[in-house]
Each structure stands twice: as C-alpha cells, then as structure tokens.
Structure 1
C-alpha cells in the first residue's frame, strides 16, 4: 500500500504538545574522557590566545542515559606550577569552557587535565597539553627576537610562464632606414606542437612570435603589432597599429633614440613611446587596451602571449640600434627580470646570432639582404632557497620549536599567519642545517582572474623564522633568520612555481648556497603599496603594513589527505598519454619513473574533462579552455635513473593528466596526492537511491577540493578565490561536513580585513573587490551565524559583531527613496546561473537578504546583551519586512512581483521569501502553495525551452533554500521529487553524465548541447549547487541543531521519510562536538522503522511523522509498546543518550 505524506500545515510550526521523555536505566559502566581539545585543536602548538577554551567528550560502550554532572580542569606550566584550578564545577558543559586562571606566558608548554563525574557517581580523568606562541595579545608581530625577513632581490625569470609583464627598450632607426622592432612571445611550446593548442597549429622554430615595430616611414609615425604563428588567420598585416603624435616623433627627431614600451596582461596590451601613452579603449570592467591574444580578451581565456623568447626584428635593408632592453615585473616598483650588462659582448644572450653585433652598450641590428630575426630565451635563475648551519651544545635538549612563516592566504597587509613545529626529534647533537625553499604562493605572481592583480602583494618572496632550542638546564639557543648567518641559492632546481602556472623543475641542478641572504622587509620598500581601485565599491584599497598582525595558525594546514592511482590510460600519439584518475580532484601528481634518461623533459598538463567525441577538432583531448588564463602545466627535466615527479609548490584541479615525453607508464606509477584543509569528514549519508548516494559523494569530493587554505570557488582555473556568495549559500552544508569553526573564523578575519571604510563586505576575501552585491557580501552575516549555531563558540560574535553592525549600517545607505536596496546596476548578481535567472528580480532577492540579515543581527545583539542595538535592528526589521510585502507581493493574488510590478512567480522567489522570513503570515501561506505549484508545473527557462515538472529552476541562491522551504511547509514529498529527478535541470543530471564533483552550472555539459558555448566559464568542481547537502542531513535524516541551544548539547531529530516517493530508506550521521549522532529510517508496506543514536551527555527533541492511516495510540520503542500522543500526524519524544529503535505501524 502507498503511504501518504502527512502535512502539519502550510506553515512550518513546532508542535506544541508536551513530549514524552524517554531514557533507559542508568548504566553503571565506566567511561573514558576523550578528544581533549584546546581552541578546538588536539595538542596545539604556538597558540596565540590569552584565554583559550577547552573541550572534551565522554565515551562509553553503554551510553544509555549517561551524562556529565561536573568537571574539574587543572592547567600547569612546565615547572609544575598550577596556573588554573577550576575546582569542581557542577555543569554538563564539555565544550567551549573558557580558561580563567593566571596570565599565560608566551612560548610556554602547558599541561592540562580534566576530571569528569557522571550521573552514576563515577569519575574519570584525562590529560593533554598545549603550547603558547609568540603573540598572545594578537597585536603587532610578536616576539621574533630580532629575526629578519630574508630572501633575494635577484628575481628569477621563467619567460615561458610569465603572462603579465612590461617590455621596454630604446630604439634608434638608422638614417637610411624607416622601421624596426622588438620580438617577444616567440617559440611558445604550446604553438610548436599541434597537440598543445586547440587550433592544432605547429610552428617551427621562430615562426611563432609577436613583433612590436616602430615605423617612421611617414608621419604621423606608427607603432605596429604583428602576430605570426598564433592563429591560422595571422597575415603579414599588423593586428593593431597606432599613430604617434608629431610632438613625440617628427622629421627632426625621427632617427634619435626613442623608448618604446608594451605592457601585456594575458594578451591585452597597453603601449607607449617616450612620454606618450597610446589612448586605448576599455576592453572589460577591469582593463583597457588592444587585444592580441587569439583566444580572447584577458584572463577569461587561455593566455597568449607569454614573454617566451625575445629579441629583435629588422627587415632586409634596414638597420637599427637598441639599448636598455628590459623585461619588467608587473606592479610597483616594476623590478627588472631581464636586462643585460653589455660592457662585453659575451654577456649577451644574443651573442653569436647573425645580424646582430654588440658595441658600447648597444645592440646593432643589420637586416642585410634577407632581414634579421634575432631571438633568444631570457630565462634565468630559480626560486630562492635559504640555508643556515648551527651547532648544538653538548647538553640534553628539553624541546625545540621552530616558528616560521608559511603564510597561507590572508590579507597580508593586515594579518599574517605563522606556524609552530616541534622539531625536537629532528635536532641532533653537533652540526645541524636548517633550509627553506621559497615560492610564489599567494604573495606573488598569478592570484586571481584578472592579470591586473599580478604580484598583488609584491614580487619578492621572503621568510622569517626562529628556532628555539631549550635545554633541560633551562638555557636556550635561538637560531633566527638574518642576512649574516643565512646563505642563499638562486640557481637551484626549482626554476619557477606558481599555483596557477604550475611548477618547473630541473632535477639536474643542485642547490648551491654561495651568497648571503638579503633582507626583504615587509614594508613599502619591497611590497606593493600603490592603491588599487575597488571597482565595485569605488574605494581605493590602501596597503599599510605598519599595523600588520602576526598570529599563530589555528587551522589545520593543507595536507596530503589521500593518494589515488590512475584508473585508465589512453594514447594520443607517441610519448603522449592521458591518464584518468577516476574522479575530479585537487592536488598534485606523483609520477614514478622507473628508469629516466638524464636531460629528458617531461611535461604534465591537467584537465577536468575531455572534449566529447562529437567535437570534430579536439575529440578526446584535454579541455583546457575552462582553465582559462592559468597555464597549469608542470615540467620536469630528468636527472636519470628512478625518479618521482611530485610538485611541492603548486596544485591543480583535475581528473585527467596528460604526460608528454615518456613511454607508457603502469597505472600504479601515476598517482595523485589529494590536498585539502579537511582532515576528515564529520557527516555521512546513504539511501536506497544510488544516484543520490553519488550526489552526496560528489558534494564531499567538491568540498575536499575547495576547502584548501581558504574556501575557494573552484580549484582549477585562474580564480580559486574566496567568493563570498558561494560560501554564503554553502556554509550550512559545510558546517555539517567538517569542523569548520576555526577555518571559517579565520576566513571571517579576512572578510573584516577587506571590509571597506564605508562598511561594505567585499565580494571576495582575501584581496577584496569582485562583484556580487549584498547577496555576496552578506556572507559576513550568514557565515558568522552558521558557525555560532553549529559550535556555540561565542568568540565568533565577540570578534565579528562590530563588523556585522558596520555592514548593516552600510546597507542602509544604499536604500533608495522608494525603499529598494541596491548597490547599483552591474554590481549585483542575483540567483546566479539559475535556468530562469532572468525572471528573478535581483532587488527582490537583495531585499529578502537584508531582512534575513536584520533578524540575525538583532537576535545576535539580544544574545550579547546589546539592548539598544537589538531594539534598533528589530524595529528596522519589522519596518523593512512590511515594505517588502507591500512592494513585492501582489495584493490580490499574493504572487511575487518584480520591483517594477511585473509578475515573478518563480521557485527562487518563493523559497527565498519563505526561508528568509520575508513574507508576512498571510503571504507565507500563499507562498507555500505557489512554491509547490512552481515545482510541480512545467517551466520555461531563459533559453526559451520548456522544462518538465520537478525541474530545478534555481541558481546559487535558490538552490540552497528550495528543499528546506518545501520541507518547512510540510511538502518534503516535493523536495524528494526534486532531488530524485534525472532530467535537466536537476542535481542528478550531472551524476548521470558521469560527474564526480558538483558543477558550476547545472548545464556545464548536456548531451544535446555539449558545453553550451560556455567553455571558458565552466568549472566542474564548484560547491554552490551542492548546498542541498544540508537538507540531506537536516531533513532527510532529520539531524538538526537546536537554534535556541547552539553547539549540539541539545538538538532536534526530525527525519522526513519519503512517504510518497521512491526512496525506501536513508541513513547517516553527524559527528557533533559531543559525539556521533546517527539517524536511520526505513519504509515498508506495514511500518516505518526509525533508528537513532544519541551521544553521551546530550539529549534530542525528536519529532516523528506518522502516516495518515495511523490510528493507534502506541508505537514500539526498543521492542516495547509505548502510549503516545499523536497530533497533526506527529509524535514528539525526548530521547536521552543511547540507541533507539522505534517502529510506527501504518
């Protein structure tokens, strides 16, 4: 028989009947105290916290009804002196217990113990430790004892990976000549092999190049750009030419030296001569210039040209002289990467080539009969490595701690992280060596989707550290970074390394530390201090390192979390193979070569997907267009013998690895080291629908890949940024999947550090800028709320409340006279990438978001005891909510409207209004009805195509809300039909296409339309549409936090069996900070079975649906019949610790 779903009412209301309290006989079994944490970390080192907070769990094989009744915490320093004895505290709290003892000292080892008594009179004790860091006040830089930032001012250049740069030179065209120029972008390896570019071009040596020519054959003179070998459409005509005013070049000075320069950002160029800057059009919202990249304008496309090989060009019969030829880094002060001392001809990379001589510091070019094309590779040096040696005294060592900066990703002008390492076991008596290798990280080079932010913080890497060795007699040695005792290597094997561009390594090179390290202070001398314009806010983003804070890292560092072997391989041609890792991942390859030949070059490229077989030009090849301007290529030159290629200073998002330069390798020799900040997941979900199981695994895999130092939008292309809109919709799901308290607290720090003086939370953090508007910036409100609710840590509000308040006050300044809140056209994204996005009025969504924010902040103010703030924001909430209902809801039909009065009537509008509590009571009843109708009917998408019932018509915003809105109005049956749908648009459509991660678009790939023309903005690893994961845990399984009691000491169980659908069972868990909560339900024709596990020292308010056919007053609980009260087809129970088996007959 088909079981019908019960509906409490159109509105989601808690049943007011008194629950039955269920508990088993108190167990007399013993228990253990486990998982001792300090600031949510196990045995943390270098904790910068004046008053840390403690946590622990109780564990027993017989959890029935067991609770904690008291605790006693004792903290001692290394000498055994008691710093805090809490005494016996009668409390069942076992998380977020704040330190309340004597003042803690920096760089100190502390032991601590906790003694627990249970409700049976038994007592158990456990102990752990923590150490403090260099900066307990979290102000300034802390106690580095004179350690200096060191590095190298000798900047390396790998010209074939440098995509943003300036090239300049002075040119004098000889009296008998009228044109000559410079060459760059020559011999790009991608254009010299038909397998390495989507146009299948194959240029011979020097055939692919960019020529930048000064032509004075007539006045006005011209600057001309020629492109050869970059496109099948390249001709002998210039791709761009620009007139020079006669003030700059005229008949009198035409044959004098003139300085020409060209700046290229992913092939969008700006240029000039002498003091004249050529006026060029705006290309996009970031850049202006001329486009010479055949792939497209700017960072949204594959990047051409790189600096690559450079040189000169003169035609037959032409002569010219050049001097001061330079390749410059982008960003003030524009340090030179290439320039030559021409006091001797042998010093030049061009020496020995035909058509060039060098004399008196000048390159002299003679075209002769055939013309002269002089080209060479200007690459030089390698990433800096640093080393010092020291000798240990002949004493017993107590401990040794290394404090060092591997910065992670923060807003570096405000906030730096350092790490603490226990290296006691690594220190040996006698001579020791400490070495570090530097690379770009997030500090230098490519950092985001626009080249205008290249070298955002500076172009020189640096390092600060101190090693403190403490002997058992209490004495200590301190080894610290400085320019006197540390040596430098700038010609080692790590040629270049970048997150976006990849890593280039020459294993034949050795590290030779043959010069002194140089001081690279973090100040105006070496970092970028030129203000950047924030396009969205209109503010200038000023850098000020004088107030930067150094704080010990309290998040789990990025680490190797899994190693995956290739699943299959296919041959493209000789020595080119594509290996399939079986799933889309973020990490680095580990390629084992049994017997390599010295000098052979191996090239690795990475892609999420391959071109489909119906692609006539590129079928079966790597689809790299969606990687965009990130080169994402690793090269490795073998030293010979058995070798392992495994980059250390880059990472890629990929499923497929293309290996060029080797014979076919065994699958076991091709591995991926998966990298993530997530050490373990805290939630699981399985059900009778295998496709939905795959969907949940895809959500997990996507979270793994994108919670990497920061919460990124995607791990593969030239972005990998902390987009706030993505995080806002996914933060609740994330809080179930992993212990994100410290991780997201650190990210909220970045949001505060990028908050504008006016109070705006920027759309990206760190860095700031971006676009999105209030739906993105409101992450500064929503994420804080999700973290607090999940973990009950009030520190989050203590740290963040003023920033929340500042943002809400900023939003008030953006309210127009008609009451609409807007940051302006072009600044705001709505229901991003929804199939019917054009139907959803952005101003409706922004207004609803403001109402949600106001409710969060007034309840937060109430909790913090800020009564004036609470009253102000609550009044504003009521006022704005009333206006919202008047402006956006039709008074007669109660359907949603756009701000211009047009009908909206969309899934997203109803789901958003309901979940954000924007509708009044009357409109909520109608909204629930219309939401169901919008799901059950056919809908026409923005392409004009009619989509079938139960299609997911929502984008980033609506998707996070729709399933919960349906459940909250008593229609979880419709929510199940949405998630069980396989047709496009749906969650399972991508699963059916073989997706192993969540896609950026619901139609990232379709059978009918391939990539749909969205090749460049099309991530296949993007967690936003995975926000349904929260519904799977909270509603399908019913494991819900109690918002009146944050932190899971008390929680709700409200499972929603699929009474009218196809799913017959579901099970899963959430590992709360108090222990594992398990939920299971199974449907049969005769009954519904529920199974729950309630952790020790907690309790659950359980609400069970019963079918309409249920006409009994008893249910079975752990095999015994119990009388229950059924109201509105629901039963309320209070479950105490233990395992529960509940059967409800139909």
Structure 2
C-alpha cells in the first residue's frame, strides 16, 4: 500500500489558501498482488519550520477525505509541511508528505498594503460589437426648418456581406433619427436602411409627432424655438430604442402582454426584440442634413446606459474625448465652432483604444539574496500577467467568476524563479471577462458590475536576512497603453487581434522595454447600481450591486485549463472564399488556426453549433451556419495578419461550437491547421462506461463532453447563457462533482 497523493482543499500543494481550517485528503493504491486492503487508521502532522502546529495523533478511522485541520491558528503568507501516515487492516503502513501555503488570511482591502485598483484612463470602444448605448447630439437647423439628425448602426460588416447574415442582406445599411420641421409641423422620422428586404431610404421606417410621449400634447419644438439648438438622444437597448428631444421622451412603445403593460423601446431589429441575433450595433455614427437643409452640430456623444453611464465617445470640432483629432475633422467643415452639414449624411467609425495593457518595473536588491517572491493578484475582469517576458501561469480566464460585489477571488503565484537581481518587468493585460460587456440573455445586463476593467496586485519579496519589500499597483509607478494588438475581447462577442502590433505585447513585460510614451493609469472605483426588473410586475429583480465592500478571498474557484484538443475533420467551401470546418464534436473553448497570408489580411472567424437543415423554410441556406440559437452572442473573432506563417489562438474569450467558418483568406488552412482547444475546470473523470452498444457509448461520451463544456470556472447552463441563470446547473452540480476532478 502507498499514498499516491495528498490533497489540501482538493489541491496539490496549493499556495495562497485563505481557509482557516483546510481539509486533507489522500489517495491510496495497493501494490501489485495486494488484495482486500483498506485503511484502518491515520495520522496527520502539520509543521512550519521546526514548529509542529497540529499532530492529530493516531486516529482509528477509515476516512481518507475531508479531514479538517484542528491545530493552532494558521498564520498569513506562511508555508506549512504536511505529513500523512496511514495504517491498513493487515498491519501495513504508508506515509507521504506535501505542503500548503496560506494567503493573506485577511478579507479586508487593508491587507493589500496600499495597492490601488488601477485601470485605463480611456474606454475601449469596438463599435461593431456595442449593442447597448446612448447616442446624443445638440444641433440646430438654419432658418428653423428642414430635416436633420444623427446616424448610427451604419456599415455593419454583417449586412455588408450576404454570407454574414441570415436574411441575405448586402449593401448600404444604417439607422437614422431625424427631426423634421416643416410648415410649423415638428416630427421625428426614423429610417432603417439595409437591415431587412423591405427597408428603403425613401420612406421612414416610423414617424412620430414631436410631443411629450407620456402626455401626448406638450409640444417640444415651436415656431419660437425652432431655430435654436436642441438635443436629440437615442437610447439603444439591444434590439429596441427610445428617443428623447431636450430630455423629453418622444418615442417609445406601450406593450400589453401576459405580464401587464410596460413601456418598451421601438423595435429596430426586424428579427424581434428578444432571444434573437442582435441588431443594430453602434457601428459607424454620424450626422445627417436633408435636401435643402443646413445643420449646425455642437457634438456627437456616446455613453453607456447602465451606471456609471460613462461617456465613451465625444466628437466635437475641437477634437475627441481623448484630446485627439475628431474622426470627422477631414470630412465636415467647421463654421463658428460647429460642424456644418449640408444636404448629406456623413458617418465614421468611433472605435478607439485596445484592451488595457499595464506595466511597471520591480527592483530586487542585488546585495541581498532573495528567499521568496510572491505575486498576489486579482482583477475586475480577467487578466494575463507576464514577468520578464514569461507567462506566470497556464491557467486561463483568471481570476474567474464570482459575485464580485460580495467577494473578489485573488490568486497567489510563486514568482521566485522569475525574479532576478536588479530591475524586473511586469506586464498585465485586462479584458472584460465576466465583469463587463454582455453577460446573459438579458440585454440590460450589459456592463452588469461596471464599465471598466481594473487591476489590484502586490509583489512581496522576502530576503534571507529576514527583510521584506512590497510593491503594489499604483498610478505613479505603473504605465498604461491602449494601442496593443488585442483590439477588443468579450465572451459573447469574441476577440479582435491585430498581429501587426504583436511585438509590443511580446516585449512589454521586459525590464528594458521603453514605456516613455505610455500614459499614467487611473484609480478605478465602483459605484452602487440599483436593482432593476426586466418584467415589471412579474418575477424577481436583478439585484443591486456594490452596496457594500467585497471580501478578498484566496483561490476559491476551480481554474480553467486546456483539457482536450480536436482537429477539424472536414472542410467545405460554402461560398467563394468562405470555408466551413467541421470538428464533428460540440466543444467549448477556442480555435488554434495556422494561417499563411500577407500582412494586413483581415480574417473573420465565426462559430456555430448547428447548420441549417434541408427544409422548405430554410431554402437557399441549407448546410450553412445557423446562428439564431446564439441569440445575443455574436461569437465572431477577427484576426489581422502580420504576414507569413502565424497562429491565431484567442486569449480573452471562448466560444461554444462544432463548426468554424473562416473567410477572408487566400490560402484556406488545411484540416490539420484548424484545431479546437477544449476549455474546462474538469481535468479528469473518476470513471468511464464502455458497452457493446455503439449508441450507448456515444451517449456516455456526450455526457462527459457536456460536463467538460459546462464547467468553465463554474458550473453553467448552456454556453451562451454562462450564468446558470435558472439553477439547472446547480441541480446537476453535485453529480458532476462526484464524477469528476476539478482543477
């Protein structure tokens, strides 16, 4: 008999544990030829240095799992040695040793010793993926007459190419809200062009009088103020929109349904307003002045809908939000400090800044010998950290999902081997993860916990002479960069990567990296966000968040890792230059694709779980990707090539899919060059089922794949919902936990 391994809190030699009474378990195996063995007694001894903090004594028990610590109070940031002795029913004995290291052992923010939550001074805006926003402009029409307004949702890449939307649309596309003043009559005209076959630029999609929508009588624009500046605001809530003039609601819809009467936005998406592919997105935005109209525009702004409702785009004749030149500077003349638009519609892409990259340098004393170095790190969002050019972990999507306003999980890493005497570089990139961007099938949950990612970290160095140094995140020693290769990333929308910028990401964690042109980061705070109900009068509300300060808890969840790989089995050219790869297996993870294209080639990678069947209602689409079941999840990656042979593997997102569609390539990847990497927190199964029945074997295999796909950091419902919203995942969690080992 021997002890195969010792687990502390179900982990092998963990560090950063905040558990005051950790549980010990071990796996026993028999030597060849031994039979009918079972544990009859055990003993656990825990030491730190020369001190014994717990000796359980010999316990007459067959229990080998979940034995709780009952010794002296554990101290923070301390390594403990564990020895387990086991006796069997034949008088044999086995023993083994392991260790664990405690974390901060203090759930309060003060334990971070002055480290600050830092993040980007600018928002990351990817207009083609932003479906919840408020767009606004102040303008006047010369002479108090004519038609002028704002444009958004223009030049949507999905509608520019008939292979990228299920309605077969291809060509000019936009949404326009225009104020019309004619013969004393004030109206709001809404145009939808290129979104559905029935759309036309000649006739408004909808027209409403410019009166207070609630009172139906109060006129907002009158002959007396027609020539003045007025503010037009459109709040886009996924597939619907509300319109306001001078802060007064002028366009909405009153819905009467099973749950009662509620006010909703006007539906702009021809597909529906719930559980559908989302349209419109922000995309290109701009100004409009109709025939014979001269419009003077003070600005064009975009802000988030959910608190803190940060302004993320501001275009004025003086420049843009970050101080740079306006995106309209070379397109629209300026007169008397206003954009002057005549007889035209002008749009531009407001996208700006990549996901945040943060870096600093840590000085390790040359005259002293380093005994240990630990990195304590967490993020609102997810992080990728490198020290001196080396990744610190193979774990993915850290720090994982939790109820962030109640608890923040942090990780502890032993970085002693990465540190060297003198200057050491550290670089951290942040993405939205489960913190912000789209989260669930409820569109209003966009930016549920907040609208900006941030980082909290400290490095603790201990020297052999007993001295100690702490280096934490702050706005003085750290730098920020917003023009890196990861242009955008979110779980629902996907990732965009410009490989022509890859060098900065590959080198920014080196100590010699030149960051002289980088900016200072800012301190990022949270704000309280009130609860809201998506179905007034029915069901529970989505709870308020950030009503209290969170606890900081070390290593609470199961890390995500690559646990399986599968190469594409077939390839088919659906349309010229559009290739469909079939993995012949539903997976949750990311692709790893080898490409051979020239620099600047833009490649679009889309995903699907099923194809359109050969049925009359899908005539003309048979065998192409069906995306309707993804609902709000666009699930599209974009890769811009640096040239030559290169590999695309997303880092800050994941998808659920069987099929991969690749378009934009001149050289279609071979089957062996299209690989799928399975993400999961399930690393091994405790059992297996094999029978003589092929279908039963496939069923058992499906069960194991489902468990892997639906346990990415937490047990989930289907991939596109991610949050196990209805509790179905909780009901099967105990069964999954018994049949698997989570990392």
| Structure-1-length-normalised TM-score | 0.59
RMSD: 2.1
1:700 to 697, 704, 710: 704
Cα separation, 2, equivalents of 1:573 and 1:398? 61
Q: CA deviation at 1:724?
A: 4.0
Match of 1:271 among 223, 239, 243: 243
**Which position in structure 2 is the counterpart of 1:531?**
531
Counterpart Cα distance in 2 of 1:119 and 1:712: 42
Offset, 1:407: 3.2
Asked if 1:432 is matched to 2:428, the reply is no
Instruction: Determine whether 1:635 maps to 2:638.
Output: yes
CA offsets per residue over residues 2-42 of structure 1, 9 Å max, x none?
xxxxxxxxxxxxxxxxxxxxxxxxxxxxx111220111211
Contact 2:459/2:470 (CA < 8 Å) preserved in 1? yes
- Kindly indicate which of the two structures has a greater share of residues assigned to strand: 2
Deviation at 1:537, TM superposition (A): 4.8
Instruction: Tell me by how many angstroms 1:133 deviates.
Output: 0.8
Name the counterpart of 2:47. Answer: 76
Q: 1:360 to 1:111 in 2, by over 3 A?
A: farther
Contact 1:180 1:313 in 2 (8 A): yes
Match of 2:340 in 1: 364
Contact 1:683 1:736 in 2 (8 A): no
1:350 paired residue number: 328
Which residue of 1 is the match for residue 205 of structure 2? 239
Decide whether the 8 Å contact of 1:341 with 1:347 is kept in 2.
no
The alignment status of 1:457 with 2:449, answered yes or no, reads yes
Q: Name the structure 2 match of 1:650.
A: 653
**Measured at CA, do residues 588 and 344 of structure 1 come closer, stay the same or move farther in structure 2, by a change above 3 Å?**
closer
Q: Which of 357, 367, 376 lines up with 1:403 in the alignment?
A: 376
Q: Which residue of 2 aligns with 1:501?
A: 493
Structure 1 residue aligned with 2:29, among 55, 59, 63? 59
For residue 732 of structure 1, report the CA deviation from its aligned partner: 4.7
1:179 and 1:216 in contact (8 A); partners too = yes
Please point out which of 389, 406, 431 is paired with 2:361: 389
Instruction: Quote how far apart the aligned CAs of 1:540 are.
Output: 7.1
Task: Give CA deviations for 1:854-902 in whole Å, capped at 9, x if unaligned.
Answer: xxxxxxxxxxxxxxxxxxxxxxxxxxxxxxxxxxxxxxxxxxxxxxxxx
Of residues 209, 212, 234 in structure 2, which corresponds to 1:262? 234
1:334 is aligned, of 309, 315, 340, to 309
Match of 2:567 among 565, 568, 576: 565
Question: Which of the two has greater helix per residue?
Answer: 1
C-alpha displacement at 1:415, in angstroms? 1.3
Partner residue, 1:40 = 10
Are the equivalent residues in 1 in contact too, given 2:187–2:210 (CA < 8 A)? yes
Does 2:128 align with 1:126? no
Per-residue deviation, residues 745-786 of structure 1 (Å, max 9, x unmatched):
xxxxxxxxxxxxxxxxxxxxxxxxxxxxxxxxxxxxxxxxxx
List alignment gaps of at least 5 residues for structure 1. 1-30, 744-1146
Moved more, 545-554 or 666-675: 545-554
Point out where structure 2 has 5 or more consecutive residues left out of the alignment: 212-217, 379-397, 509-514
Three-state SS of the structure 2 residue aligned to 1:464 is strand
Q: Does 1:423 align with 2:415?
A: yes
Residue in 2 aligned with 1:472?
464
Aligned partners of 1:258 and 1:274 also within 8 Å: yes
Q: Give me the whole-angstrom Cα distance separating, in 1, the residues matched to 2:183 and 2:438.
A: 41
| Corresponding position of 1:325 | 300
Q: Which residue of 2 aligns with 1:979?
A: none
Q: Are residue 229 (structure 1) and residue 200 (structure 2) matched?
A: no
Please tell me whether the aligned partners of residues 184 and 308 of structure 1 are also in contact (alpha carbons under 8 angstroms).
Answer: yes
**Shift of the alpha carbon at 1:419?**
1.0
Cα separation, 2, equivalents of 1:176 and 1:328: 28
Query: How far apart are 1:411 and its partner, in Å?
Result: 1.1
Counting only pairs closer than 5 Å after superposition, residues 93-108 of structure 1 correspond to structure 2 as 93-108=63-78
C-alpha distance in 2, partners of 1:360/1:82? 80
Indicate the larger mover: 390-399 or 403-412.
390-399
Task: Using the TM superposition, give the Cα deviation of residue 219 of structure 1 relative to its aligned residue in structure 2, in angstroms.
Answer: 5.0
Cα distance in 2 for residues equivalent to 1:158 and 1:653 = 22
**Matches of 2:24 and 2:205, distance apart in 1:** 66
Match of 1:683 among 671, 680, 687: 687
State the shift of 1:63 in Å: 4.5
1:309 equivalent in structure 2: 284
Change over 3 Å in CA distance of 1:251–1:52 after alignment to 2: same
Q: CA deviation at 1:700?
A: 1.0
Deviations 1:298-357 (A, max 9, x none): 4x111111111111122221111111210112211211111124237992212333xx31
Q: In the TM superposition, what is the alpha-carbon distance from 1:733 to its structure 2 partner?
A: 3.4
Count residues with an aligned counterpart: 692
Classify 1:63/1:253 alpha carbon distance in 2 versus 1 (closer, same or farther; 3 Å): farther
1:1098-1137 correspondence runs (5 A): none
1:155 is matched with which residue? 123
* 2:604 is aligned with 1:599: no
Residues 210/537 of structure 1: CA separation in 2 closer, same or farther (3 Å cut): closer
- Aligned residue for 1:786? none
Structure 1 Cα separation of the partners of residues 734 and 482 of structure 2: 46
Contact residue 683 and residue 741 of structure 2 kept, 8 A: no
2:372 is aligned with 1:380: no
**Separation of aligned partners in 2, 1:127 and 1:702:** 35
1:539 shift after superposition: 5.3
CA-to-aligned-CA distance 1:374-420 (integer Å, 9 cap, x gap): 11111111111110112222233322221111331111111111111
1:109 to 1:498, Cα distance in 2 relative to 1, 3 A? same
| 2-structure distance, mates of 1:347, 1:208 | 26
Cα distance between partner residues in 2 of 1:359 and 1:494: 38
State the partner residue of 1:883: none
Question: Pairwise mapping of residues 733-772 of structure 1 onto structure 2 (< 5 A)?
Answer: 733-739=735-741
The secondary structure found in structure 2 opposite 1:679 is strand
| 1:688 CA displacement | 2.2
State whether residues 146 and 292 of structure 2, in contact with CA within 8 Å, keep that contact through their aligned partners in structure 1.
no
Distance 1:727 1:714 in 2: 9
Matched position secondary structure for 2:182: coil
Q: 1:719-743: CA deviations, max 9, x gaps?
A: 2221344124423532343146xx9
- Supply the distance in 1 between the matched residues of 2:125 and 2:23 (Cα, whole angstroms): 47
Q: For residue 734 of structure 1, give the secondary structure of its aligned residue in structure 2.
A: helix
Map residues 1050-1065 of structure 1 onto 2, 5 A cutoff.
none
Mapped contact 1:397–1:472 kept (Cα < 8 A): yes
Cα offsets for 1:801-856 (capped at 9, x unmatched): xxxxxxxxxxxxxxxxxxxxxxxxxxxxxxxxxxxxxxxxxxxxxxxxxxxxxxxx
Question: Shift of residue 507 of structure 1?
Answer: 1.6
Q: TM-score, normalised by structure 2?
A: 0.89
